[in-house]
Amino acid sequence: MPQKVIIIGGGFAGLQLVEKLDPSLFDILLIDRINHHQFQPLFYQVAACQLEPASISFPLRHIFKRKKNVQIRLTEVKEIIPQEKLIKTDIGEFEYDILVIATGCQSNFFGNKEIQQHALTLKTTYDAIQIRNHVLLNFERLISAEEYEKESLLNMAIVGAGPTGVELAGAFAEIKKHILPGDYPGIDLSRFTIYLIEGSNDTLNSMSEKAKKTSRKYLEDMGVTVITGVFVSSYDGHLLTLNNGVTIKTQTVIWAAGVIGNLISGLPKECIATGNRLWVNRQNQLLHHEDIYVMGDMAMMQTPLYPKGHPQVANVAIHQAKLLARNLKAKMQGKSLKEYEYKNLGAMATIGKNKAVVDLPFIQFTGYFAWLTWMFVHLMLILSVRNKLIIFINWAWTYITKDTSLRLILKDKKEG
């Protein structure tokens, strides 16, 4: 009789596990709060009016419509009760034989409630739409704003200079140069300042020295004000204060400075590691729990190559899911299990047209070829052929015309 597997989360790890589990051995219940898979690496392009949300969003029911062993429930898991092999959700309780946690991460504000209340984040498709709305509405307001308010509307601060922050800053710098002058000819765009603020001493701090130096040079050449070695201490919606005493008047702060796991209640404290990740063994099995597994961003796995845990990137999630699918099948068949280790395939980030940095295990390179590499890799990761084609056409059109017609403000009238 097939075992009942509940997978919490439809991200890269959850999707890959559903795809790879043997349908003759497992009945699957996939649970998520939203009805679609989100391609997170391109969120910034939705926020910067370069892609439509539908291009990078994939309905779960459509993805798995041919898998008869898969059920999908749109709800939020409130509690896990391991001793009863049960989860509680908004729509009821579900029993499992095997539970897989792949809930991903959310923005980490390091306990600062004020910043959390006022800053924008980029962790979902909806967040990307919110940023797009907010930025475009600011420029609409600028047309009739009083002089005292214009400075805060013309300043944008992006906090965190990892790939998300760097790519956002580069995208908005290109909009400033190519798009906004045509849309808002009456606004003095020389006053529009994009700040990129980072607590470490470099942009793309986890990448090679070449990537760090080149990415910063690209950004500064594009007009971005890069501030490193400082932290944000407060933000009240109008004034951003750094720990060195510097203040910036701004109504737009995008927080990309760290992540923390989406933890579900019910698990013992000894299972919880730094950043709300969960301790697992080399087979992604939760500490002291034989029938619970954790994958992707939530998994804290110590290995010889990564004693502090693996990087929270899509490649880790995808490969952990593939191995877990093989191991669960092997376990049912009484075969030996394999241990996971991450093979670092490299890292990359794009800063703008013809500008990117790529770190591979054997070579680092930048510029036009790096930009083409970044586009090819991300295009191949998109799920459907239709969406690959749509994104490619959008990119080609933008490259040729330096323009895009995707500057839509989509707000519910109740939002004010």
Per the model's pLDDT, the better-predicted residue between 10 and 402 turns out to be 10
Q: Name the phi and psi angles at 213, rounded to 5.
A: -65, -40
For the record, the structure tokens of 89 come out as 């959700």
Q: Is 45's pLDDT higher than 60?
A: yes
Torsion-angle region of residue 79: left (phi > 0), alpha (psi -120 to 50) or beta? beta
- Give the residue range(s) of CATH 3.50.50.100 domains in the chain: 113-257+346-400
Which of 359, 362, 370, 263 lies closest to 313, judged by CA? 359
- CA-CA distance, 410 to 187, in Å (whole number)? 23
pLDDT recorded at residue 413: 64
Residue with token string 């280790």: 341
For the chain, the 3-state helix, strand and coil shares in percent, each to the nearest 5, are 40, 25, 35
Report CA-CA distances (Å) from 389 to 55, 116, 131, 133, 398.
9, 37, 25, 26, 14
Angle between helices 209-221 and 163-178 (to 10 degrees): 20
Residue 379, C-beta contacts closer than 8 angstroms, at least 6 positions apart: 388, 391, 392
Query: In this predicted structure, what is the pLDDT of residue 412?
Result: 65
- How confident is residue 414, by pLDDT bands cut at 50, 70 and 90? low
For residues 159, 260, 307 and 311, what is the CA-based torsion angle, rounded to 10 degrees? Answer: -60
User: What is the pLDDT averaged over residues 23-45?
Assistant: 95
Average pLDDT of 15-21?
Answer: 96
Question: Which residue, among 248, 180, 193, 177, has the nearest Cα to 225 in the 3D structure?
Answer: 193
**What tokens does 83 get?**
């001793």
pLDDT, mean over the chain: 93
Cα–Cα distance measured from residue 69 to residue 287, given in angstroms and rounded to the nearest whole number: 28
CATH number of 113-257+346-400: 3.50.50.100
List, by residue range, all CATH 3.50.50.60 domains of the chain: 3-33+75-107+259-332
d(CA 299, CA 316): 10
Q: Residue 209: pLDDT above 80?
A: yes
Q: What is the layout of strands, in order, in the sheet containing 247-249?
A: 232-235, 239-242, 247-249
394 pLDDT tier (thresholds 50, 70, 90): confident
Of the candidate ranges 15-24, 33-42, 351-360, 391-400, the one whose mean pLDDT is the lowest: 391-400
Query: For 237-291, how does the pLDDT look when each residue is reduced to its tens digit (9 = 90+)?
Result: 999 999 999 999 999 999 999 899 999 999 999 999 999 999 999 999 999 999 9
Q: What is the pLDDT of residue 32?
A: 97
Residue 82: which pLDDT band, with cuts at 50, 70 and 90? very high
The model's confidence at residue 410, banded by pLDDT at 50, 70 and 90, is confident
Query: What pLDDT, on a 0 to 100 scale, did the predictor assign at position 214?
Result: 97
What per-residue confidence (pLDDT) applies to 290?
A: 94
The yes-or-no verdict on residue 415 having pLDDT over 60 is no
CATH annotation of 3-33+75-107+259-332: 3.50.50.60
Minimum mean pLDDT among 137-146, 271-280, 314-323, 398-407: which range?
A: 398-407
The pLDDT tens digits of the residues spanning 311-334 come to 999 999 999 999 999 999 999 999
Distance CA 43, CA 130 (A): 11
pLDDT of residue 386: 84
CA-based nearest residue to 351, from 196, 136, 157, 151: 196
- Give the lowest-confidence range in 16-30, 112-126, 393-407: 393-407
pTM of the full structure: 0.92
pLDDT grade for 344, boundaries at 50, 70 and 90 = confident
